[in-house]
Copies of this chain bind each other. A is one copy, B any other.
Amino acid sequence: MTMIAVAASQNQHKIDEMEAITEKFGMKIVGRDDFGLPKIKIEEDGETFEANSLKKASEICMLCNQITIADDSGLVVDALDGAPGVYSSRFAGEEGNDKKNNAKLLELLKDVPMEKRTARFVSVITMVYPNGTKIVARGECEGHILFEESGENGFGYDPLFRPLGYAVSFGEIPPEEKNKISHRAKALEELQRQLEQLH
């Protein structure tokens, strides 16, 4: 099945990963900017990844009348009772960035020993069709938060996150490898399994 989907995201890192992962199952992702949509900001005010993901996909689907795919994702840290969670991208405030977010995370965890630094990356991928069909797929990747940033690959909290079974961070793992094991890869594979059944 070849399927074209408009990505609700404006984060080029996310779009690149979604393209690389979905290429394997014959899906073609088109950025919403490439599709020529006006640059609107969708407020991500949901309390869950599912709420934000569905909101983004639904709003963009209404605007473009095409099958739309959205990713809402973040880092869930056990020692912080699940924070930063849905606030991952604005953990250090609306004017923050990856560097400030990572610094805040390290500061909050500075007295937490490695065995209690368990965390997971979560991605909720939602696909919304113009006819109202909604598909929701969640993927998780378990791991630990390191004591300092390591590696230049990936984005967001990747340099601080060491996935289970690896000795290095997502910042040090090549993109091809990350795209096999990441939360986003797992969510997109789950989406694909659901699509195979629904069509």
Q: Which residues of A contact B (CB under 8 A)?
A: 46, 48-51, 54, 118, 134-138, 140, 142, 164-165, 190, 193-194, 196-198
A164 to B120, CA, bound (A): 13
Task: Known pairs A48-B196, A49-B193; list 13 more (Cβ under 8 Å).
Answer: A48-B193, A50-B190, A51-B193, A51-B197, A54-B198, A118-B165, A134-B198, A135-B136, A136-B136, A136-B137, A136-B194, A138-B190, A140-B140
B138 touches A197 (CB 8 A): no
Chain B residues within 8 Å of A118, by CB: 165
Chain B residues within 8 Å of A142, by CB: 142, 164
Instruction: Count this chain's copies in the assembly.
Output: 2
| Shortest Cβ distance from residue A139 to the other chain B in the assembled complex, whole angstroms | 8
B193 touches A50 (CB 8 A): yes
| Shortest Cβ distance from residue A194 to the other chain B in the assembled complex, whole angstroms | 5
| Shortest Cβ distance from residue A181 to the other chain B in the assembled complex, whole angstroms | 12
16 contacts between A and B (CB under 8 A): A48-B193, A48-B196, A49-B193, A50-B194, A50-B197, A51-B193, A51-B196, A51-B197, A54-B198, A134-B198, A135-B136, A136-B137, A136-B194, A136-B197, A138-B190, A142-B142
Question: A135: nearest residue on chain B (CB-CB)?
Answer: B136
Question: A198: nearest residue on chain B (CB-CB)?
Answer: B134
| Shortest Cβ distance from residue A136 to the other chain B in the assembled complex, whole angstroms | 5
| Shortest Cβ distance from residue A186 to the other chain B in the assembled complex, whole angstroms | 8
A194 to B57, CA, bound (A): 14
A51 to B49, CA, bound (A): 25
Q: Given A48-B196, A196-B48 in contact, is the A138-B136 Cβ separation under 8 Å?
A: no
